[in-house]
A and B are shown apart, each in its own frame.
Chain A
Amino acid sequence: MQETFIKVNNLCKSFPGVKALNNINLEIKKGEVHVLLGENGAGKSTFVKILSGVYKSDSGSFSLDNSECNFNSPGEAFKNGISVIYQETSLIPKLTVIQNIFLGIEYTKKIFSIIDNKRLLKEYKEICNNLGFNLPTNKTVKTLGIAEQKMVEILKSLVHKAKFIIMDEPTDSLSKTEIEHLFEIIYKLKKENITILYITHNLEEVFKIADRITVFRDGKKVNTVSVKDIRMEDIVNMMIGMDLPKTLANPSSKQNKKEILKVDNVNKDGIIKNVSFSAYCGEILGIVGLIGAGKTELARIIFGSDKFESGKIFINNKFCNIKSPIDAINAGLCMVPEDRKRDGLILKHEVYKNITISNLKKISTNIVLSKKKEIDVSKNVVEQLNIKISSLDQITRELSGGNQQKLVIAKWLIAEPKILILDEPTRGIDIGSKYEVYKIIRELAGNGVCIIFISSEVPEIMNIADRILVMKKGEIIDEFKRGVSQIKVMNTMLGV
């Protein structure tokens, strides 16, 4: 087939206490879409960071187009044609599309280094035409949608002569149409003979775009296979090293029909319109909808972190004037926010501090925090949720996504909630952790906690929820019981 473009030899990298990469050998061929799969903590991110010059490997080497690479910084890798597109965009929001794309290689006229806008525009148009892009050039990036921002990033890589583009879970924050658009772009890039390393958790995507797949597990390469010769179940087995249970546990039978939460006619300037619903003890209420349907906004309103215009919230049949998260927590209502890194955790703090922050009373004697109680309480919940950490003193930033998510849940277990809202709790975490999160949620519901599970993934909601509310454009448009067909929910959600 094609020639080898990237060749990785015996790459190793260790962090204190963890062997992140163990003797990785890998070949990526020119012009292929190579998908890298693995659970969180399998070493994918470390691998990417070494290729892109963020980390240095302990031993081993890699070469690009037969020349040995030894990058000291991401900038150096970028100059050598390796470009990374991360989950979060790395563009400058206040600059225009063109300014972002040509950042770093502004062509200047000879006098006074005036920027040669004409030349920029000409080159931009050429590249756009090649790829069939059509982006407004003079809009600032912050006014663009996330998919368009991803396009800008891809264009930026191309302008900078990228030969190898690494995409780190690029579809995580994209809607379905946006994802398809991205895939079209990937096909086009492939035609331009650009090599792509694509990292994802979503197995369905793999079959749409991949040429070959490499699976990592626990810092080692399990195998590299061609996508034609493999079934999805085989990939899952490779990733987790065992068979998954086919279905989740049955819905909690303990559901008693005791209403615990009632949301009555809540409105917020056009984002949330006349939303009313009830939720019961021991039930898992799923709220599903496209991105932008107002799910997150609704959750934030109920939790008191955003203000709203009109409407009432009742907890245990009592009117509850929730004006801040503190009020909500005091009423027994907790929320796992959508963006765990930004809103859920203090990344620079130790694990135990993140766990106990929600309920310092529990670990205090009089007003003094007791280290012993704190360690006991944290250890307990870490054990309960099977959070993988090297010590309770470990810095939260170092944990993998799945473990960080479990940590946010652990925090709320300490606060002993009666109602727990989880906003996209499985976003960006690996399959193994996903199932563990489902299991935890099931157990909580089994203990009588009312769970509100928000997600934009229909299959997930179908699997976990006892009852499903569908949101669209700020309204609840339908309600389904468990066992409804996936197509029906999908159609309602999309408005077909």
Chain B
Amino acid sequence: MRFKIKNNGQKNFLPKLKGSLIKKYGILIGFLFISIVISIITPNFLTLKNILNIMKQSSIIGTMAIGTTFVIIGGGFDISVGSLLALTSAMVLGLQSYIPWYLAVVVVLLVGAFIGFINGVLTAKVKIVAIIVTLGTMTILRGLTYLYTGGYPVIGTSESFQFIGSGVIGGIPFPIIIWIVMVIFWQFMLSKTKLGRYTLALGGNKEASRLSGVPVDFYLIMTFVIGGLMAALSGIIYASRINSVSPLAGQGYELDAIAATVIGGTSVAGGEGTVVGTLVGVLLLSVISNVFNLLGVQVYIQYVIKGVTILAVVGFDSYSRFRR
């Protein structure tokens, strides 16, 4: 590479350093390591059936967490998506009494995007802190879900609709396919399009982005729209899988989505992160709870372990960053 750099002998433009490799793929390496250890101690773990089972269970949080990843990368925060899942899943079943299921799906996706838009406008234009905005909408959406359902579980009427959550194509459950396709699509959007680059820039330094000609408000709103859209999609999968939704659905899902995102290497400060990383984060959490199920560990302890995992992974990451 011919390149003039004065005073320092380096002429190589792409030196991949070991340190940055570990930083970049640390979570993945950790995940694989844990998986190998687990597959040795629990023989039932490494079976195709169990793995597909894990992924199927992960697909709902996984789909939701894609949106969460965008929101956090853009410098925002969204805790309303669990309630949004409840509302959209109740609606997609309830609407089936009036309109065909596929129209219900479209309506619900629009509702998700619209709620995201509201979150975005309140954050970007009214300038309320994102966590407070979504605390508000979280509460409103839960209330709306109760109003919509009257407090009783909603049951779906369309059989074709159930394919989304329970169907299998080529041996692979359909929710997994949706999830993986979404991960690929949004990772592409994040790393290869203006939307993604501006989202990263916005989360990295909002004022510098604005002064570089980035329409920051628009893209901030877009991250919330993606968050809402993905929450609605996860609501659709959720509804379709059990075909019955209680108004309590999705409680705490937003926290799992945030945890997975952060474990997956997205910086809570914004400006850094990948969708694929979040995928690994979701899998890591699922694998851990799966193993405890296989080992017959009490559910209550699982919560503790999950929390410790989050702190350990994220703590290790930020501590090593700080020390640099």
Contacts and interface: CB of A to CB of B under 8 A. Distances in A.
Interface stretch (B49-57, B77-85, B208-216): B208-216
B12 A391 contact: yes
B272 interface: yes
A325 B212 contact: yes
Most buried by A among B194, B209, B212, B215: B212
A257 interface: no
B201 A337 contact: no
Contacts, number: 99
B211 A368 contact: no
Interface stretch (A139-147, A176-184, A260-268, A338-346): A338-346
Contact of A367 (B194, B208, B215, B272): B194
B211 A357 contact: no
A149 B211 CA distance: 28
Contacts of B272: 348
B204 A369 contact: no
Interface string B90-120: 0000000000000000000000000000000
A483 interface: no
B204 A346 contact: yes
Interface string B188-232: 000111100110110011011111111100000000000000000
Q: Chain B: interface residue count, which band?
A: 35 or more
A325 B12 CA distance: 36
Given A358-B213, A388-B7, A353 B197 contact: yes
Nearest to B19: A16
B300 interface: no
Q: Chain A: interface residue count, which band?
A: 35 or more
A379 B271 CA distance: 23
A391 B13 contact: yes
Contacts of B194: 360, 364, 367, 369
B7 A348 contact: no
Contacts of B10: 17, 390-391
Contacts of B210: 305, 324-325
Question: Which DSSP category, helix, strand, loop or mixed, fits chain B's interface?
Answer: loop
B211 A325 contact: yes
Contacts of B17: 16-17
A369 B197 contact: yes
A392 interface: yes
B3 interface: yes
Question: Which DSSP category, helix, strand, loop or mixed, fits chain A's interface?
Answer: loop
A353 B4 CA distance: 21
A130 B209 CA distance: 47
Contacts of A324: 210, 215
Contacts of B198: 360
A365 B213 CA distance: 20
A411 B212 contact: yes
B304 interface: no
A369 B193 contact: yes
Nearest to A327: B213
A400 to B, nearest CB: 11
B14 interface: yes
Interface string B1-12: 001111110101
A369 B196 CA distance: 10
Contacts of B170: none
B134 to A, nearest CB: 24
Sort A-B residue pairs by CB-CB distance and give the 3 closest, nearest first: A346-B204, A329-B213, A346-B205
Interface of A: 16-18, 41, 218, 303, 305, 324-326, 329, 335, 337, 342-349, 353, 357-358, 360, 364, 367-369, 379, 383, 386, 388-393, 411, 415
26 contacts: A16-B19, A218-B8, A303-B211, A325-B211, A326-B215, A335-B211, A342-B205, A342-B208, A343-B211, A344-B211, A346-B204, A346-B205, A346-B208, A347-B205, A348-B205, A348-B271, A357-B214, A360-B194, A364-B194, A368-B192, A369-B191, A369-B192, A388-B6, A390-B8, A390-B10, A393-B14
Given A18-B8, A324-B210, A349-B200, 13 more contacts: A326-B213, A329-B213, A335-B211, A343-B207, A349-B201, A360-B198, A367-B193, A369-B192, A369-B193, A379-B3, A391-B12, A392-B13, A393-B14
